[in-house]
């Protein structure tokens, strides 16, 4: 039962247990809310039945019914408290657990997943979908199951009491339910369309925020707004159609339910006329009929909500089923040589980026990867850090295959500086401290000085305590890059990956930072990717990549002296004025 609930409703094990408790107490609450009808039944049985049968008897006192009423209220209040705690409170805890579990899942996924997904898609799953699940599970799903159980219990009892009137009371339930059940496929199709249209709108808005500079620079505001308006219109139409369909179906089902009370009145009158029932039983069924359909109406409302919820539950289950990167947390290599052995890799089928790459970057040396754009340089660096897993071949660190090492354990041995720098809306100090949590302020500032950050940080209003804004919006590209280099210097890991680390710097700052980097790379494995040949001039080994293979490799002076790709690249940059 627990496993079924976990799969069907995307719940944790504890969430499934809490769901069963919530359903149980909701059933009790539904039964408790029927107590007014029971109260009326007791009163009529006490006062009316003796009159009908012309056999007067002693009645219970006024205070008896006052006391009974207060007992009913007290029981209802206790059950309502327990029901609230096991549905609303527990569901909010389950929602928090689900978000954390989803974040943990995303943390263990390979970067290939994030390359395939739009940011708004993930944001919507984490926030919007979880909010919808939270809302529906706290207000609808336990009530749906509880209402069905309550209805079955009451109907069984009533059928034993008087099957003719019970049949008249309940025949409308399967008739009304069939309207919703037979429309399930159409409702799911409509709900899926609403979901997709909403996702289109959020992706369009995200795209606009990400590319606002390009939109303005090329005067594309009108086109962008026109496309956004068109997607909003499609979403609005899909939502209107879906709401209208759901409203018509639910109200049609509830309209059929209203025929039940009319059936009871007609059937009861006929049974009384033929002497098959008495007035008391007849009145009792009329009273019950005025209350019994309320939980059934809730079932119909919640059933429609569950159809809509199916899409989000499916999305959660899809995320849960994604394969994660795993491996051993015990990683103590003999050395930090990086070896690529016949590595093949493609971001997508049919577009091979690496087609059998083999080379070794040795500890204590600087290995530079060069080559034309699209040759696989940055890909090699990301594969070396296991941001992706290779399609075939293997990558070894100190003789150990990295695909068998837990990615987070592996990355503790890397300092990485990529061309695209990500900064947080925090102080300069905290942005650099990301490189080594727990580092003292003195250590952070020392790393910042080596990365030549001190000159521009000292001009900020609050120095190292200055808040940088979202993604370092207040900094230039070169300043952002220097903070990234400071992080790497602070971490001081045995493997250094520098992907266009100085691309955003001018010649003067690049030269100054090289001095800091030279301290960083001492006795370590260094893999540098650069387009400017000056950046790799002091490398111990050059690996030239072209069309996904190693075209040539060797020391810089060896490759410069021959008729090699590297020599031609150096020559072209010298002519272009970039220098060697």
Each residue of 491-517: pLDDT tens digit? 889 998 888 766 656 666 666 666 666
Verify that 299 and 344 share a domain, yes or no: no
Is residue 534 predicted with pLDDT exceeding 50?
Answer: yes
Verify that 168 and 42 share a domain, yes or no: yes
pLDDT value for 84: 82
What's the rounded mean pLDDT across residues 292-318? 74
Cα 505 from Cα 499, distance rounded (Å)? 13
Backbone CA torsion sign across 526, 532, 537, 538: negative
Residue 535 per-residue DSSP state: G
Verify that 359 and 507 share a domain, yes or no: yes
Say if residues 513 and 456 touch (Cβ distance below 8 Å).
no
Q: If DSSP codes are grouped into helix, strand and coil, which group holds residue 348?
A: strand
Verify that 506 and 446 share a domain, yes or no: yes
Q: What is the pLDDT of residues 297-306, one digit of tens each?
A: 777 777 766 7
Domain count, the chain: 2
Residue 129 per-residue DSSP state: I
Say if residues 527 and 367 touch (Cβ distance below 8 Å).
yes
Which of the listed residues 265, 286, 320 is the one where a domain comes to its end? 320
What's the rounded mean pLDDT across residues 92-120? 75
Q: Is residue 325 included in any domain, yes or no?
A: no
Verify that 311 and 393 share a domain, yes or no: no
pLDDT value for 382: 87
Q: What's the CATH code of the domain at 17?
A: 1.20.1560.10
Q: What is the pLDDT of residues 211-228, one digit of tens each?
A: 888 888 888 888 989 999
pLDDT band at 231 (very low <50, low <70, confident <90, very high): very high
pLDDT value for 469: 76
Verify that 54 and 85 share a domain, yes or no: yes
Structural domain for 186, as ranges: 2-320
Give the CA distances from residue 559 to residues 407, 528, 531, 537, in Å, rounded to whole numbers and listed in that order.
Answer: 35, 17, 16, 11
Cα 203 from Cα 118, distance rounded (Å)? 7
**Partners of 526 in beta bridges:** 366, 496
Q: In what order do the strands lie in the sheet with 541-546?
A: 414-417, 495-499, 525-529, 366-370, 541-546, 549-554
Q: What's the CATH code of the domain at 416?
A: 3.40.50.300
Say if residues 470 and 425 touch (Cβ distance below 8 Å).
yes
pLDDT value for 396: 92
pLDDT value for 38: 67
Give the CA distances from residue 510 to residues 81, 110, 473, 532, 539, in Å, rounded to whole numbers and listed in that order.
Answer: 67, 32, 22, 11, 16
Q: Is residue 464 included in any domain, yes or no?
A: yes
Q: Is residue 329 included in any domain, yes or no?
A: no
Verify that 313 and 399 share a domain, yes or no: no
Which of the listed residues 258, 287, 320 is the one where a domain comes to its end? 320
Q: How does 224-263 read in b/e, with b if 16+ C-beta sit within 10 Å?
A: beeebeebeeebeebeeebeebbeebbeebbebbeebbeb
| Top mean-pLDDT range of 46-55, 203-212, 229-238 | 229-238
Verify that 196 and 314 share a domain, yes or no: yes
Verify that 104 and 215 share a domain, yes or no: yes
Verify that 482 and 345 share a domain, yes or no: yes
Q: Is residue 333 included in any domain, yes or no?
A: no
Cα 362 from Cα 365, distance rounded (Å)? 6
Q: Is residue 424 included in any domain, yes or no?
A: yes
Q: Any idea which of 52-56, 418-422, 443-447, 570-574 has the lowest mean pLDDT? A: 52-56
What's the rounded mean pLDDT across residues 43-51? 65
Q: What is the pLDDT of residues 402-412, one digit of tens each?
A: 989 998 889 88
Is 0.85 surpassed by the pTM of this model? no
Q: Which residue has the higher pLDDT, 514 or 485?
A: 485
Q: Is residue 505 included in any domain, yes or no?
A: yes
Q: Which residue has the higher pLDDT, 112 or 268?
A: 268
β-strands 400-401, 392-397: how paired? antiparallel
Is residue 173 predicted with pLDDT exceeding 90?
Answer: no
Q: Is 30 exposed, middle or buried (0-12, 13-18, 19+ CB in 10 A)?
A: buried
pLDDT value for 8: 67
Q: What is the pLDDT of residues 341-388, one digit of tens each?
A: 999 988 776 677 888 899 999 998 889 898 888 888 888 888 998 888
Q: Is residue 474 included in any domain, yes or no?
A: yes
pLDDT value for 47: 67
Which of the listed residues 294, 320, 346 is the one where a domain comes to its end? 320
pLDDT value for 579: 45
Q: Is residue 132 included in any domain, yes or no?
A: yes
Tokens in use for 364? 């204590």
Verify that 384 and 285 share a domain, yes or no: no
Verify that 60 and 186 share a domain, yes or no: yes
The kind and range of the H/E element at 394 are strand 392-397
């Amino acid at each position: 039962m627990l496993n079924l609930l976990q799969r069907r409703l995307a719940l944790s094990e504890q969430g499934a247990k809490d769901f069963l408790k919530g359903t149980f107490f909701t059933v009790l609450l539904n039964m408790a809310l029927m107590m007014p009808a029971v109260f009326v039944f007791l009163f009529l049985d006490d006062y009316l039945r003796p009159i009908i049968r012309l056999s007067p008897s002693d009645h219970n006192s006024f205070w008896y019914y006052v006391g009974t009423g207060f007992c009913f209220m007290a029981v209802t209040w206790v059950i309502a408290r327990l029901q609230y705690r096991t549905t609303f409170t527990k569901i909010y805890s389950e929602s928090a657990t689900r978000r954390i579990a989803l974040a943990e899942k995303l943390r263990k996924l390979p970067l290939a997943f994030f390359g395939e997904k739009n940011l708004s898609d993930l944001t919507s799953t984490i926030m919007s979908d979880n909010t919808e699940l939270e809302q529906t599970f706290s207000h609808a799903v336990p009530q749906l199951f509880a209402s069905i159980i309550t209805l079955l219990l009451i109907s069984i009892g009533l059928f034993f009491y008087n099957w003719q009137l019970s049949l008249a009371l309940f025949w409308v339930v399967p008739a009304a339910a069939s309207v919703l059940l037979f429309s399930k496929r159409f409702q799911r199709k409509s709900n899926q369309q609403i979901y997709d249209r909403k996702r289109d709108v959020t992706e369009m808005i995200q795209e606009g925020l990400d590319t606002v500079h390009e939109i303005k620079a090329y005067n594309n505001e009108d086109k962008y707004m026109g496309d956004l308006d068109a997607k909003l219109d499609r979403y609005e139409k899909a939502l209107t159609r879906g709401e209208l369909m759901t409203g018509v179906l639910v109200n049609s089902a509830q309209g059929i339910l209203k025929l039940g009370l009319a059936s009871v009145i007609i059937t009861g009158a006929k049974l009384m006329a033929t002497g098959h029932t008495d007035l008391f039983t007849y009145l009792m069924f009329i009273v019950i009929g005025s209350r019994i359909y309320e939980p059934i109406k809730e079932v119909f409302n919640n059933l429609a909500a569950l159809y809509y919820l199916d899409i989000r539950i499916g999305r959660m289950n899809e995320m849960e089923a994604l394969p994660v990167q795993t491996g051993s947390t015990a990683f103590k290599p003999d050395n930090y040589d990086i070896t690529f052995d016949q590595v093949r890799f493609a971001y997508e089928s049919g577009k091979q980026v690496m087609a059998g790459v083999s080379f070794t970057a040795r500890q204590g040396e600087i290995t530079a990867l060069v080559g034309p754009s699209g040759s696989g340089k940055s890909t090699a660096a990301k594969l070396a850090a296991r941001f992706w897993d290779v399609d075939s071949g293997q990558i070894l660190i100190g003789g150990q295959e990295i695909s068998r090492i837990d990615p987070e354990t592996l990355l503790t041995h890397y300092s990485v500086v990529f061309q695209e720098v990500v900064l947080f809306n925090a102080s300069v100090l905290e942005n650099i401290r990301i490189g080594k949590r727990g580092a003292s302020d003195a250590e952070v500032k020392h790393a910042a000085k080596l990365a030549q950050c001190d000159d521009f940080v000292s001009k900020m209003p609050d120095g190292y305590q200055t808040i940088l804004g979202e993604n370092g919006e207040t900094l230039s590209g070169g300043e952002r890059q220097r903070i990234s280099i400071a992080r790497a210097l602070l971490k001081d890991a045995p493997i250094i990956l520098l992907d266009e680390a100085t691309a955003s710097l001018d010649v003067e700052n690049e030269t100054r930072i090289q001095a800091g980097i030279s301290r960083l790379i001492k006795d370590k494995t260094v893999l540098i990717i650069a387009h400017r040949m000056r950046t790799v001039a002091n490398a111990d080994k050059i690996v030239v990549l072209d069309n996904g293979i190693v075209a040539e490799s060797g020391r810089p002076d060896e490759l410069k002296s021959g008729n090699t790709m590297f020599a031609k690249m150096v020559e072209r940059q010298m002519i272009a004025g970039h220098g060697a």
